[in-house]
Structure 1
Amino acid sequence: MKNSIRKKLLIIILLIAFILFFILVVPFRTALVFYIENTEKIQAFLPINEGDTFQIIWKHSIHLTDVVEKYKVTDDQKINQYEIVYEHFGIGMPSNAGEGETFVYEDGKYHIKGIDTVFPSMNIRNGKTVSEHRLVWGDKDEHMVWFNEYFEPGAWFTVKVDQLSLWQYLKGVKIHE
């Protein structure tokens, strides 16, 4: 009788350990994750899937006009920049398209299309002097949040597509409109 109780207790303990392991370690959701500087500490995340697109829009500190950087999540969970849109040439802005890219002027803005730059991660600083960074996502870019809702002006972070465990998902700050 005591062996039967011990076996049941051992099974229950192993089952609880397995469930805790699953919750804490096993990745279950892909997300665009914003890590504080060069750490593994998650500041915020946006649930995202392979093939999804997003934009980071920032205000150029000299021209005070928006610069739109467009990205797509690749099948191997990297970030592919495919377009940039801006209004003025000058410091930090490209003056022409590179090889395989197209430079066009549409609706009063310069577009460099066909960019194929792939990043395993990106280091981004939220604007300090002109703090008007935004994150845009959705099928028709219908969702937008201001970085200042989630990050301090001047803060920098590493952004990458990562798999989150249920524990990370539940304890993290989910970006939502």
Structure 2
Amino acid sequence: MRHRIRNILILMALLNVIGLTLLVPFRTSLVFYEKNTDHLEAFLPISIGDTFQLIFTHSIHLTDVVEKYEVTDKYHMKQYEIVYEEFGIGMPSNAQEGETFTYEDGKYHIKDLDNYFSTMKVRNGKTVSENRLAWETTSSNLNTSPEKHEVWFNDYFEPGAWYTVKIEKLTLWEYLKGVKIHE
């Protein structure tokens, strides 16, 4: 009888450890949720201080617009720069106070942006579906440059669909069942 109780207690402890391992948040990620739901569509493992870019083709002038973000220690996305080639509908024509407006290599840059987002709504283009996600990774070798990565939204998302984007810590369970964005 004692062995049976001991075995049950060991089994319960083991199940608790497995449950905690699967349900405790452990990995910071850029997470794409379908619309306004908690249905995790895809994620990109990312760390505090890392940067990423959302690149879309403007539907009117058909040139790339690059929005650059940094992951903050409060799990926000800080927009620090926007790069574009043409003025037009929806594009800024100058910098605001505290920002810097430059023209470099044929592109307009608005730098020193200080825009923070806890969530963003992102739509994958339907008519002009050329949206991309770009990021860099560094290796453990300090002598190498960061490696640049870029993926097309259409490889992960349905054209015309929209997503809620957040920086969150995923549990191992979410990590295992979700779609990891990779090049």
Q: TM-score, normalised by structure 1?
A: 0.95
Instruction: State the alpha-carbon separation in 1 of the partners of residues 176 and 7 from structure 2.
Output: 31
Instruction: Name 2:140's counterpart in structure 1.
Output: none
Instruction: Name 2:127's counterpart in structure 1.
Output: 129
| 1:7 shift after superposition | 2.4
1:174 aligned onto 2:180: yes
- Is contact 1:54–1:141 with CA below 8 Å preserved after alignment? no
Instruction: State the alpha-carbon separation in 2 of the partners of residues 18 and 47 from structure 1.
Output: 24
Instruction: State the alpha-carbon separation in 2 of the partners of residues 124 and 13 from structure 1.
Output: 43
| 1:19 shift after superposition | 1.4
| 1:141 shift after superposition | 6.3
Q: Single out whichever of 83-92 and 6-15 deviates more from structure 2.
A: 6-15
Q: Single out whichever of 109-118 and 13-22 deviates more from structure 2.
A: 13-22
| 1:13 shift after superposition | 1.9
Amino acid at match of 1:109: K
Question: What 5-or-longer segments of structure 2 have no aligned partner?
Answer: 138-145
| 1:21 shift after superposition | 3.1
Give the count of matched residue pairs.
Answer: 175
Instruction: Name 2:55's counterpart in structure 1.
Output: 57
Instruction: Name 2:80's counterpart in structure 1.
Output: 82
Instruction: State the alpha-carbon separation in 2 of the partners of residues 141 and 17 from structure 1.
Output: 40
Question: What 5-or-longer segments of structure 1 have no aligned partner?
Answer: none
Runs of 4+ with >4 A deviation? none
Amino acid at match of 2:176: L
Residue number among 73, 90, 94 corresponding to 1:96 in the alignment: 94
Instruction: Name 2:16's counterpart in structure 1.
Output: 17
Give me the CA root mean square deviation: 1.1
